[in-house]
Amino acid sequence: MEYLEIEGGSPLRGEVRIQGSKNAALPILSAAILHHGTTVLKNCPKIIDVLYMLEILKDFGCKVHWEEDALVIDASNLNDCQVAECYGRQMRSSIMLLGSLLGRMGSAFVSYPGGCVIGARPIDIHLSALKDLGAVLVEEPAGLRAVCEQPVGTRVCLPFPSVGATENVVLLAVFAKGVTILENAAREPEIGELCRFLNSMGARIQGAGTRKILIEGVRELHDTEFTIMPDRIVAGTYMLLTAVAGGEVLLREVPVEQLDSVQMILSDMGVLQEVRKNELRLQSTGRPNRLEEVCTRPYPGFPTDLQSPLLSALSLARGKSVIRETIFEERFKIVEELRRMGADISVEGQKAIIQGVEELHRAELTARELRGGAALVIAAAAARGTSRVYQYHYIARGYENIIKDLQSMGIVVHFR
């Protein structure tokens, strides 16, 4: 069985370049099929979820290849509108193909999304919003079948600012007749990146990054070359790693403007931070200060994707901390693993109470999902002794080369 072997307990020293954003790349790849032509993407991360998505696009009839670090997608011969079950069930992001397939082909079949075990993640918000634009959807045992011959612009108000539902509405509304007004839209930076990408192809979208997005339908799009922004969650992961392991780390190509909530928490934890343009220098003595209470929130609040890494970091904090999870109901799955390392954590519903301990000890750990796996890597790097983290493939879903990154920070890590 494949695993990472990590020698922990030593302060960090080194620098890391932050990869392209996973959560921006996946909807952008979905959006690329709206255009009957060629898209060139730079800084697209070579992670498992992206590779799965590219296999889906190939099944649709797209031609896909890499030219050094540039990804070239030719969607001119797209001829299928059904996501193969073997890929759809592997990744949650397959659901965002619903809006782009309907926009391009007028019909779609997508198997029910899979990929993570962090909660139910219902898609009813997606379906209701697409129906508002004129889609007819039928829930079948194997997946969703949808038809929308001509989407019509309208006012759509989401009951919750769902990132995926916002993306699906934008993707379908690009070719809608008239203007679509999307209210209570998600404000995550990845939404803005998707809209900027679509605008670079000729779409007419205003208000990205606000709660109200206006999409004026167009008839066609054109070729584009686009550079994907850095990954704020990867940057946040390494920020929290530095906070608990200690040492000095330089992060390069960091989307600093997207990390206000994380930087505020790191300041409270006692981490020194120096920002120079898109670089972030961190200094920490390890064993961070406690945090009275942190609640996960939609952007610009503290991201749920960094809740598990923060949980690992606070396991060694000086005193008692509380984390309240408000987005996903099953995001405390790593608690059992951390307890095996000596962490003192109790869970009460959607609240984790962490009493910091002086040290964690080595253990054999098992990743069960992406961000939890990264959190176990953090714990292993901060613990005394050599730990193993099994099921590395979960971590590789979102981290392009976490092994190289850890080594660049001075951590001794091997892939076995």
User: pLDDT value at position 116?
Assistant: 44
Mean pLDDT of all residues in 167-178: 98
Where does the pLDDT of residue 363 fall: very low under 50, low under 70, confident under 90, or very high at 90 and above?
very high
**E strand or H helix that includes residue 108:** strand 107-111
Using the predicted structure, report yes or no on whether residue 114 has a pLDDT greater than 60.
no
CA torsion sign, 401 to 244 to 374 to 64? negative
d(Cα 211, Cα 137) in Å, to the nearest integer? 26
Catalytic residue among 62, 116, 148, 195: 116
Whether the model clears a pTM of 0.85, i.e. scores above it, the answer is yes
CA torsion sign, 252 to 52 to 101 to 33? positive
Where does the pLDDT of residue 17 fall: very low under 50, low under 70, confident under 90, or very high at 90 and above?
very high
Q: Per residue in 208-231, pLDDT tens?
A: 999 999 999 999 999 999 999 999
d(Cα 402, Cα 46) in Å, to the nearest integer? 12
Query: Is 116 tagged catalytic?
Result: yes
Q: Per residue in 47-79, pLDDT tens?
A: 999 999 999 999 999 999 999 899 999 999 999
d(Cα 143, Cα 246) in Å, to the nearest integer? 47
Find out whether 42 and 70 touch, Cβ atoms under 8 Å: yes
User: pLDDT value at position 111?
Assistant: 81
